[in-house]
Structure 1
């Protein structure tokens, strides 16, 4: 069963095929995740903006969500429709987390 380890962008680390194999997760690696080497960056730009620059817990707390960072580094193997579905899933997750934040 999934532990549901949320990322700042609205995904879940434990739903990723690379989790625990190639990547320890966004928070654990502080944004230095497995795919960074393929695009020649040190830190995921979404993680960097959210955590390091804006000091937010997740992107749902940001008024700019979704921002251009969500679209800059897209998997080339993903169709436009698949990318749209992923973004909708992220937005739903982040909206749920914002609701949970307000209930605390």
Structure 2
């Protein structure tokens, strides 16, 4: 299967619900299943990149990694785990076409 990479650098195609109830953030236009859990109407990464700035993903933004990357931390992750994940996503996004 080809990788489906989200606006923020998450690999959508590695998610347990991909191709079941979700086809990735581009297909669902930022209306992720977890939005209710965090009190959002649309993914803040999707809204910023696609809607406000008209870019396909955060890697095309000069401000990467912005505060969104640092503020959106899974509470189960340590600070070190979070920093590593952000760095990996930023690196991957910067090399995308």
Structure 1 unmatched runs, 5+: none
1:73 is matched with 72
TM-score (norm 2): 0.88
Runs of 4 or more, structure 1, over 6 Å off, are: none
What is the number of residues matched between the two proteins?
A: 97
Contact 1:60 1:94 in 2 (8 A): yes
Encode CA deviations 1:35-83: one digit per residue, 9 max, x unaligned: 1110111111111000000000111110111111112232111111111
Change (3 A) 1:21 1:77: farther
2:45 is matched with 46
RMSD over equivalenced CA pairs, Å = 1.5
**Whole-Å Cα distance in 1 between the matches of residues 44 and 70 of structure 2?**
11
Encode CA deviations 1:11-36: one digit per residue, 9 max, x unaligned: 21011223234533101111111211
Contact 1:51 1:58 in 2 (8 A): yes
Q: Which moved more, 1:49-58 or 1:27-36?
A: 27-36
Q: Which moved more, 1:87-96 or 1:43-52?
A: 87-96
